[in-house]
Chain A
Amino acid sequence: MYIERVHFQSLRNHVDTSLTLSNGITLLWGENGAGKTTILEAISLACLSRSFIHGPDRNLIRRGDERYAVRAGMASANGNRSQVEIDFSLAGGRKKIRLNNNPLASAAELIGLFPLVTLSPQYRGITSGPPSERRSFMDMVISQAHPAYVKELFEFRRILRHRNALLGSAEGLVSRLDNGALDSWDDTYVRICARILERRRAFLERFTPYVVSAYEEIANAGEEPRLEYQATFDCLEDRELSLDAMKAQLREHLVHDVRRGTTFIGPHRDDLALLLNGLDVRHQASQGQVKSFLIALKVAEFRYLQDQTEEIPVLLLDDIFSELDDMRLERVLHLIGRIGQTLITSVNKSTRQLLPTIGARFDVFEVAAGHVQAAVEEVV
């Protein structure tokens, strides 16, 4: 899959930008704040309906404007062409997504159609930030590979909000709860939790070998990476999750949950520990090991999505030259192997000298103050 054209308006500092892209490597070069990353964000919006930079949609709108729009034309491996339109206006409040001129009911229908992998400084949190960063990494990979998961997550969040509302209505006293109603929400809750947990478990089982082999290629041999799912529900040992056991645990926490008006056990509180030789990389790994782990996760994501979706994902590399040393960078590009469409942002002109070592054809665009200019196309 690759993106043939992308056209966007009023996105960050871009007024109106239109780009025709090749199915190879594109280097976006320019000063800090020129708007290079915004081009990657536009592509992320078109593929996944969201940017890799967290924040509400209104933050994406160019200052003084009231809406942003993204249009992209995609070409799939089988020759299919699709057009995606994303529109958001302050007045409308909700993002409108259209695929081939048909409105989509939700992002759930878009995610998975156009696989995308992004490596950005934003993702440093995966290896060093709070559990939410690792959960959202995991959820996004599963969502792209198994789109039904997106709806299950929506469903999970809605049920959780209902349950929390019910807990909140008890105003801190368990005796004020309608037990029958809570019971039925608990039933619904553990069912969806079991589904999410099973998805994540099955995913990690398939995904881990990808991480192991990617890490081996990037870093030194003799270090063994492992992903360990740390569930708040204490019954993951069995392959068959027992709904009754889960409900019992939920009940044990009830007094605590009611006091805080929120649910403390469930997939939204779980973590994914990243271990190297059995030790958590967050606390016990060197800078180099942490970087290698993150890259291994991303390379694994790329290959996993490629295998699952049978499309070559689009790859966005945001400012990785400042993140990676030349050796790691070369390995990353080399590892991804049969590389598809790749967009790379950089402030550093010297990185252009590095690209020829990959031995592929690439385009260079120069970005300045929200304007993009095609530089000379270089063929090596």
Chain B
Amino acid sequence: MLSTSPALESLITAFSRLPGIGRKTAQRMALFTLRQPRSEVEELITALQNVLERVRSCSTCFNITETDPCAICSSSRRNHGLVCVVEEPNDVFAIERTNDYKGVYHVLGGTLAPLDGIGPEDLRVRELIERVEKGMDEVILALNPTVEGEATTHYLSRLLKPLGVRVTRIARGIPVGADLEFADDATLVRALEGRIPV
């Protein structure tokens, strides 16, 4: 059922476009917003506006940033000869959380997916090649272990290897601290295949 206020209705529609939000949850969120004190709603408006105005992508690595180049790309404590290729900015957050990686990143912006009409020209592939041509020691391909991630990994490694750079990919296997018993079959099969001498 549509609500009785067009303004509220358009807020509900806007909320329901968010990932994981259905119409019912969007309705609850909109009504909640309506009941908030004015100052809180204004805070939300400002936050949205700031995101819109200040946040852009780094012209070097295409990660989310407010300064260009981003803090990682301009850091002198980073190893600029080591680049980790990921699909989305989320993946940068995930790797940064470890505090263990000291190289830089390259956000591809997705993976090859002909079914969705996504080819190399829709990703930051050319930009990656240019960066590598300027001199890199190693490219780590850290794409998701999906069918699309696999194909993209093959694609990139074929483009990069002739440039004389070391190309690696992250390992696949059993999560640390998990029980073997609960690992799914496909992961176990790959983990057995990727076994290493101790």
Instruction: Point out residues on A near B: beta carbons under 8 Å.
Output: 109, 146-148, 151-152, 155, 158-159, 161-163, 165-166, 169, 178, 180-181, 183-185, 187-188
Interface range on chain B: under 10, 10 to 19, 20 to 34, or 35 or more? 20 to 34
Q: Select the residue from B150, B152, B158 with max chain A CB neighbours within 10 A.
A: B150
Secondary structure at the B interface, as helix, strand, loop or mixed, is helix
Q: Is B114 an interface residue (CB 8 A)?
A: yes
Contact partner of B152 among A163, A165, A184, CB < 8 A? A184
Q: Count A-B contacts at CB 8 Å.
A: 62
The answer to whether B185 and A147 have CB atoms under 8 Å apart is: yes
Asked if B148 is at the interface of the complex by the 8 Å CB criterion, the answer is yes
Interface centre among A148, A155, A169, A181 (most CB of B within 10 A): A181
For B158, what are the chain A residues with a Cβ–Cβ distance below 8 Å? Answer: 180, 183-184, 187
Among candidates A147, A158, A181, residue contacting B155 with C-beta atoms closer than 8 Å = A181
Q: Please, could you name 16 A-B residue pairs with CB atoms under 8 Å apart, sorted by A?
A: A148-B189, A151-B184, A151-B186, A159-B147, A159-B151, A162-B115, A162-B147, A169-B114, A169-B119, A178-B119, A180-B158, A181-B114, A181-B119, A181-B155, A187-B151, A188-B150
Within 8 A of A (CB), among B29-79: none
List B contacts of A163 (CB < 8 A): 114
In the complex, are the beta carbons of B154 and A184 less than 8 A apart?
Answer: yes
Q: Which residues of A contact B150 (CB under 8 A)?
A: 188
B189 touches A162 (CB 8 A): no
CB of B117 within 8 Å of the partner chain = yes
> A181 to chain B: which residues have CB within 8 Å?
112, 114, 119-120, 155
Chain B residues with CB under 8 Å of A166's CB are 114
Closest residue on chain A to residue B113 by CB atoms: A162
> Which parts of B146-198 form the interface with A (CB within 8 Å)?
147-148, 150-152, 154-155, 158-159, 184-186, 188-189
- Residues of B near A159 (CB, < 8 A) are 147, 151
* CB pair A158 B147 closer than 8 Å: yes
| Structural contact, A148 and B186, CB atoms closer than 8 A | yes
Instruction: Say how far A93's CB is from chain B's closest CB, in angstroms.
Output: 14
A9 to B184, CA, bound (A): 31
With A180-B159, A181-B120 given, is the CB distance from A162 to B151 under 8 Å?
yes
Task: Kindly list chain B residues whose C-beta atoms are within 8 Å of the C-beta of A183.
Answer: 154-155, 158
Least CB separation from B120: chain A residue: A181
Chain A minimum-CB-distance residue to B148: A162
B window 73-132: CB within 8 A of A: 112-115, 117, 119-120
Residue of A nearest to B149 (CB): A188
Which chain A residue shows the least CB distance to B189? A148
